[in-house]
């Protein structure tokens, strides 16, 4: 039996930029992580004196009133991790924003950032996010940090992002905790500090943030700033996986495949790879294809194996291309055409899913190396 690719290693997966393609967990492509609600380094930002100041009671009441009364253009999905576009009255939103209502300003920032094809400008997004951020609105502070990290409409500035995330974290914003954890984990705008990363990730993970749960699992998995503990890594991966988080599902599946921190099970690994693969996770698609190719945890199905691995390849992840050559030699033209069509359908489905924007963590996801 052939063996899967060896020790792929951890790959950074930034998820804080706009990208309307299927999620590719190995390339430096981005998906939106702007947020609509709060609380769930080198270059410094010229911060106004009140930039990090929390809103007073009257401001908080106005925010609550705005949040219920305004027609939001983007709302949080039921899972709390995605943004979905909604019908809204842009004119009314603009009027409220010009009156200084921070909820409306943040919403206009989302419109400018996520509807670029409608004549909007990413610099407008920064303008509106900054207005609300300087009045202490945590969601806008997180979104402004996203702008600086990506360098949209401004120079890339991790230090400025760190400042705004710190301001949002002081208000208890879970997304800010998670993002700060990743900045410290990667040494972006700060000196790399795994202990500080764990502190912030634990705050977010214990609050239910699936991304932070995955990152925290990765720290324990790799023994980064902590004593290596596969069982604890599995614990955090599973929490993220059960919340529907694709990277958590993938990493849990790898642990199950290898029997690290958990009883080895091809069947359960197959199930979690499949869940992650259906969300467009390319590493999971390749691993799922390998299991189908070899009949591990499922019946052999070379057509399905070829389709999943080809879908990953077409999305830019070529680590399974050697398997495509092997499978191609076993399939006739009719089955190859069938598998190719399936791969196209899989990527179309992932594209549609990716349009429901990620809403929280701007952090980079760490992918567990695929099974040896």
Q: Which domains does the chain have, with CATH numbers?
A: 1-9+175-372 (1.25.40.10), 41-172 (1.25.40.10)
pLDDT band at 121 (very low <50, low <70, confident <90, very high): confident
Among 3-7, 242-246, 271-275, 282-286, the minimum mean pLDDT is found in 3-7
What is the arithmetic mean of pLDDT over 52-62? 44
Predicted pLDDT at 116: 57
Predicted pLDDT at 275: 97
Q: What is the rounded distance in angstroms from the CA atom of residue 325 to the CA atom of residue 128?
A: 51
pLDDT band at 86 (very low <50, low <70, confident <90, very high): confident
- Between 188 and 83, where is the model more confident? 188
**Chain-wide mean pLDDT for the chain?**
79
Percentage of residues of the chain with pLDDT beyond 90: 61
Among 19-33, 216-230, 246-260, the minimum mean pLDDT is found in 19-33
Residues 6+ apart with CB under 8 A from 80: 40, 359, 360
What is the arithmetic mean of pLDDT over 274-291? 96
Q: Is the four-CA dihedral 281, 287, 293, 295 of positive or negative sign?
A: negative
pLDDT surpasses 60 at 364:
no
Question: Bridge partners of 84?
Answer: 75
- Highest average pLDDT, of 22-26, 103-107, 348-352, comes from 103-107
pLDDT surpasses 70 at 226:
yes
Percentage of residues of the chain with pLDDT beyond 70: 72
pLDDT band at 278 (very low <50, low <70, confident <90, very high): very high
- Between 72 and 282, where is the model more confident? 282
């Amino acid at each position: 039996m052939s063996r899967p690719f060896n020790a792929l290693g951890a790959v950074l997966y930034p998820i804080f930029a706009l990208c309307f393609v299927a999620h590719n967990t190995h390339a430096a492509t981005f998906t939106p992580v702007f947020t609509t609600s709060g609380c769930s380094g080198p270059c410094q930002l010229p911060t106004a004196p009140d930039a990090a100041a929390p809103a007073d009671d009257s401001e908080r009441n106005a925010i609550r009133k705005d949040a219920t009364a305004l027609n939001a253009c983007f709302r949080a999905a039921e899972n709390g991790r995605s943004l979905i576009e909604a019908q809204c009255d842009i004119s009314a939103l603009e009027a409220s924003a010009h009156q200084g209502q921070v909820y409306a300003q943040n919403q206009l920032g989302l419109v400018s950032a996520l509807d670029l094809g409608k004549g909007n400008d990413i610099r407008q997004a920064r303008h509106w996010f900054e207005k609300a951020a300087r009045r202490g609105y945590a969601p806008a502070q997180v979104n402004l940090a996203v702008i600086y990290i990506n360098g949209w409409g401004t120079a890339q500035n991790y230090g400025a992002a760190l400042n705004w995330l710190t301001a949002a974290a002081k208000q208890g914003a879970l997304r800010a905790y998670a993002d700060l954890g990743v900045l410290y984990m990667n040494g972006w705008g700060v000196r790399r500090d795994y202990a500080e990363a764990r502190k912030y990730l634990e705050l977010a993970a214990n609050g239910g943030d699936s991304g932070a749960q995955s990152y925290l699992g990765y720290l324990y998995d790799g023994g980064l700033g902590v004593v290596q503990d596969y069982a604890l890594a599995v614990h955090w991966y599973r929490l993220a996986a059960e919340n529907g988080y694709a990277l958590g599902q993938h990493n849990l599946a790898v642990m199950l495949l290898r029997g690290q921190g958990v009883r080895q099970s091809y069947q359960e690994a197959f199930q979690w790879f499949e869940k992650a693969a259906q969300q467009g996770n390319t590493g999971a698609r390749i691993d799922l294809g390998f299991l189908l190719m070899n009949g591990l945890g499922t019946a052999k199905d070379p057509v399905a194996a070829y389709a999943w691995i080809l879908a990953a390849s077409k999305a830019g992840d070529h680590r399974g291309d050697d398997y495509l050559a092997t499978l191609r030699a076993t399939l006739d033209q009719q089955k190859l055409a069938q598998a190719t069509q399936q791969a196209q359908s899989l990527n179309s489905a992932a594209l549609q899913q990716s349009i429901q924007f990620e809403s929280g963590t701007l952090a980079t996801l760490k992918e567990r190396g695929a099974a040896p």
